[in-house]
C-alpha cells in the first residue's frame, strides 16, 4: 500500500470496510527514510480475553485481559523504535513462528552483541511465577521493560527518552487513548500494555490438550508410549508437570556441567557453597519448535536432549534429587551403569542412568511433538502488525 507523502503528513485513520482493516497511519518526521513502518490493525479489535473451551485450567491465572490494552501491547511488542538503533523489537528475538523464542543458541541484540542466554519461548505466562532462566523476576509487570533498557538487547536506557520516542510517533495517541482513556504516554502504561499482550499469548490447543479430554484416543501408539514414559515411567513430569508442563516455577540443577560457566540462580547452596547450575524448569509446551535447547542452547535436537537425560547426566554436587539414583537421595532406579565411578564417589552423587531402548527414545520424542500448538504460530492476533509504507 502506498500513499502520497502529503496525505500522510498528518496522522489519520483510514477505514477500509471491504477488507475489514483499520490502518493507523503515520509519518515519521524524517520522510526521507524509505519504508516507514506503521501498524495495520483490524477494524474491530481482536479478542484476547477469551480461552477456548474444553481446557481444564485458566492460562491467564489471576490476570484479567483487556482487548484494547493487549492491542496496544502488540504494537509495542513489535515496535523497533523501542530500541537504541530503531531496528530491534521484542519480536526480533521472540518470534511467533518459534513459539516466541528463536532458533539461535544466543540472539543478536541492537549492537550485534549476543545475549548471554538462549531466548526462551513464552506462553501461558499468567500461570507462571518466575521469569528468566535464573528466575530473577517474580512478575511479568516488573520484567517487561528490562529488555528495552538491557545493554545487549535493545539498549534504550533512559525511560524519559523511551517515552519521547513514542510521543513522536503519531499512531500512539489513538492507541493509548483507546487503552487508557487519554493519549498521555508513561512508562507504567507501556509496561502494563506489554504485560497484557505477553500474557494474552496462550497456548492450550496442542494435540496433547485435545487428547486430554478424549482419553488420548487421538494419539498414535508411539505417542501414547511416550506419554506413559514422560508421566509415569521416567521422572520428566516430576519437574515438567502441572498445567503448563513447567512445574511450579522452580529451578533445578540437572547436571549439564560439573562446574557451570553460567552459574544460574544466585544464592547459597550451603553456608560454604554458592548455588551453581540451577536454572528455571522451562515449559515443554511447543518444545518441537523452540530449539536449540537449554539455557545456553547447547542441544540442537530433541533427540540430543533425550540422550542427555538417558545417559549423560553429570555427577554435579548440587544435582537435583529427581536426577539421582534411589540410594543416593533419589526416587528412581533403572539399573547400574558400567564404568569408573571415581567422580561419583568423590562428589557423593550418583546420577540416574535411564537405560532407554531406541524405541523408547523415539516414543518420548514423538510425545514431545504432540505438545505443539500449531494455531499459536499463525494466530493473527499475535502477529507483527507493522507494514512498510512511504517512499
Ligand atoms: C536481543 C534478544 C531479545 C530481545 C530484543 C528481547 N528479549 Fe526477551 N529474552 C531474551 C533472552 C536471552 C531472555 C532470557 C534472559 C535470561 O534468562 O537471563 C529473555 C527472556 C524474556 C522473558 C522471560 C520468559 C520466561 O519464561 O522466563 C520474557 C517474558 C521476555 N523476554 C519478554 C520480552 C519483551 C516483552 C521484550 C521487549 C520489550 C523482549 N523480551 C525483548 C532475549 C530478548
Ligand atoms: C529435576 C527436574 C527435571 C527433570 C526430572 C527433567 N527435567 Fe527437563 N529440564 C529441567 C531444567 C531445569 C531444564 C533447563 C536446564 C538448563 O537450561 O540448564 C530442563 C530442560 C529441558 C528441555 C529443554 C527446554 C528448553 O526450552 O530448552 C527439554 C526438552 C526437557 N528438559 C525435557 C525433559 C524430559 C524429556 C525429561 C525426562 C526424561 C526431563 N526433561 C526431566 C528440569 C528437569
Q: For residues 339-354, b (16+ Cβ closer than 10 Å) or e, as one string?
A: eeeeebeebebbbbbb
Q: Which atom of ligand 2 is nearest to the CA of 264?
A: 18
Shared domain for 226 and 355, answered yes or no, is yes
Shared domain for 357 and 228, answered yes or no, is yes
Summarize pLDDT for 201-259 with one digit per residue, the tens. Answer: 999 999 999 999 899 999 999 999 999 999 999 999 999 999 999 987 689 999 999 99
Residue 278: predicted pLDDT:
98
Residue 34: predicted pLDDT:
55
Q: Which atom of ligand 2 is nearest to the CA of 101?
A: 26
Site to substitute for ligand 2 among 239, 279, 371, most atoms within 8 A of C-beta:
239
Shared domain for 369 and 344, answered yes or no, is yes
Shared domain for 67 and 163, answered yes or no, is yes
Q: What is the CATH number of the domain that holds 257?
A: 1.10.760.10
> Is 382 domain-assigned?
no
Indicate which ligand has the atom closest to the C-alpha of 296. Answer: 2
> Is 379 domain-assigned?
no
Shared domain for 266 and 353, answered yes or no, is yes
Q: Which atom of ligand 1 is nearest to the CA of 118?
A: 12
> Is 26 domain-assigned?
yes
Residue 208: predicted pLDDT:
97
Host domain of residue 230? 207-374
Site to substitute for ligand 1 among 80, 119, 247, 279, most atoms within 8 A of C-beta:
119
Identify the helix (H) or strand (E) that includes residue 24.
strand 21-24
> Is 383 domain-assigned?
no
Mean pLDDT of all residues in the chain? 90
Domain boundary among 202, 232, 254: 202
CA 218 to chain centre: 27
- pLDDT over 50 at 289, yes or no: yes
Residue 340: predicted pLDDT:
85
What total number of domains does the chain contain?
3
Residue with CA at minimum distance from ligand 1 atom 34: 90
Identify the helix (H) or strand (E) that includes residue 160.
helix 159-167
Shared domain for 130 and 65, answered yes or no, is yes
Tell me what percent of the residues of the chain surpass a pLDDT of 70: 90
Residues paired with residue 278 on neighbouring β-strands, in sequence order: 264
- pLDDT over 70 at 4, yes or no: no
Summarize pLDDT for 183-199 with one digit per residue, the tens. Answer: 999 999 999 999 999 99
Is the C-beta atom of 69 inside 6 A of ligand 1? no
Q: Which atom of ligand 1 is nearest to the CA of 133?
A: 17
Q: The dihedral of CA 265, 268, 274, 277: what is its sign?
A: negative
> Is 134 domain-assigned?
yes
> Is 390 domain-assigned?
no
Residue 53: predicted pLDDT:
75
Residues paired with residue 252 on neighbouring β-strands, in sequence order: 279
Pocket of ligand 2 (CB under 6 A): 234-236, 238-240, 252, 254, 256, 279, 281-282, 284, 287, 290, 293-295, 302, 305-306, 309, 320, 322-323, 364
Shared domain for 16 and 58, answered yes or no, is no
Shared domain for 181 and 56, answered yes or no, is yes
- pLDDT over 60 at 20, yes or no: no
> Is 231 domain-assigned?
yes
Residue 247: predicted pLDDT:
80
Residue whose grid cell is 485450567 = 57
Residues 334, 196 contacting (CB under 8 angstroms): no
Residue 389: predicted pLDDT:
83
CA distance 339 to 160: 61
> Is 171 domain-assigned?
yes
Residue with CA at minimum distance from ligand 2 atom 38: 236
Residue with CA at minimum distance from ligand 2 atom 19: 281
Give the number of C-alpha atoms closer than 13 A to the C-alpha of residue 196, restricted to the C-beta side: 25
Shared domain for 212 and 359, answered yes or no, is yes
Shared domain for 299 and 342, answered yes or no, is yes
Domain boundary among 10, 29, 44: 44
Indicate which ligand has the atom closest to the C-alpha of 307. Answer: 2
Distance set, CA 143 to CA 198, 265, 330 (Å): 11, 16, 35
pTM of the predicted structure, to 2 decimals: 0.92
Domain boundary among 157, 183, 202: 202
Shared domain for 237 and 193, answered yes or no, is no
Q: What is the mean pLDDT of residues 321-339?
A: 91
Shared domain for 99 and 149, answered yes or no, is yes
Amino acid at each position: 500500500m502506498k500513499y502520497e507523502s502529503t496525505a500522510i503528513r498528518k496522522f489519520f485513520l483510514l477505514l477500509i470496510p471491504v477488507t475489514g482493516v483499520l490502518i493507523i497511519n503515520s509519518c515519521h518526521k524524517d520522510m526521507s527514510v524509505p519504508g516507514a513502518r506503521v501498524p495495520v490493525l483490524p477494524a474491530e479489535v481482536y479478542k484476547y480475553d477469551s480461552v477456548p473451551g474444553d481446557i481444564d485450567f485458566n492460562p491467564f491465572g489471576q490476570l484479567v485481559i483487556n482487548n484494547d490494552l493487549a492491542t496496544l501491547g502488540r504494537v509495542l511488542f513489535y515496535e523497533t523504535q523501542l530500541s537504541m538503533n530503531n531496528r530491534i523489537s521484542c519480536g526480533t528475538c521472540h518470534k511467533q513462528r518459534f513459539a516466541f523464542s528463536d532458533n539461535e543458541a544466543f540472539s543478536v541484540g541492537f549492537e550485534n552483541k549476543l545475549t548471554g542466554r538462549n531466548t526462551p519461548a513464552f506462553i501461558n505466562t499468567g500461570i507462571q511465577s518466575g521469569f528468566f532462566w535464573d528466575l530473577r523476576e517474580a512478575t511479568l509487570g516488573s520484567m517487561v521493560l528490562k529488555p528495552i533498557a538491557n545493554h545487549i538487547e535493545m539498549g534504550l536506557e533512559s525511560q524519559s527518552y523511551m517515552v519521547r520516542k513514542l510521543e513522536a510517533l503519531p499512531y500512539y495517541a489513538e492507541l493509548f487513548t483507546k487503552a487508557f482513556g487519554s493519549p498521555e504516554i508513561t512508562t507504567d502504561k507501556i509496561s502494563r500494555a506489554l504485560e497484557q499482550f505477553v500474557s494474552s499469548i496462550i497456548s492450550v490447543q496442542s494435540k496433547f490438550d485435545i487428547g486430554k479430554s478424549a482419553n488420548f484416543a487421538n494419539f498414535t501408539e508411539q505417542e501414547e508410549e511416550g506419554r506413559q514414559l514422560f508421566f509415569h515411567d521416567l521422572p520428566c513430569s516430576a519437574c515438567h508437570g502441572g498445567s503448563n508442563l513447567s512445574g511450579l516455577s522452580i529451578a533445578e540443577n540437572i547436571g549439564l556441567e560439573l562446574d557451570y560457566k553460567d552459574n544460574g540462580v544466585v544464592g547459597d547452596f550451603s553456608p560454604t557453597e554458592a548455588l551453581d547450575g540451577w536454572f528455571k524448569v522451562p515449559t515443554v509446551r511447543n518444545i518441537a519448535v523452540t530449539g536449540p535447547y537449554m539455557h545456553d542452547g547447547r542441544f540442537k535436537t530433541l533427540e540430543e536432549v533425550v540422550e542427555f537425560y538417558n545417559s549423560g547426566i553429570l555427577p554435579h554436587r548440587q544435582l537435583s534429587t529427581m536426577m539421582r539414583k534411589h540410594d543416593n537421595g533419589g526416587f528412581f532406579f533403572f539399573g547400574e551403569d558400567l564404568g569408573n565411578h571415581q567422580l561419583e564417589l568423590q562428589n557423593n552423587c550418583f546420577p540416574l542412568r535411564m537405560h532407554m531402548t531406541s524405541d523408547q527414545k523415539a516414543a518420548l520424542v514423538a510425545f514431545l511433538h504432540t505438545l505443539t500448538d500449531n494455531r499459536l504460530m499463525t494466530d493473527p492476533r499475535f502477529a507483527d502488525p507493522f507494514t512498510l509504507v512511504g517512499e
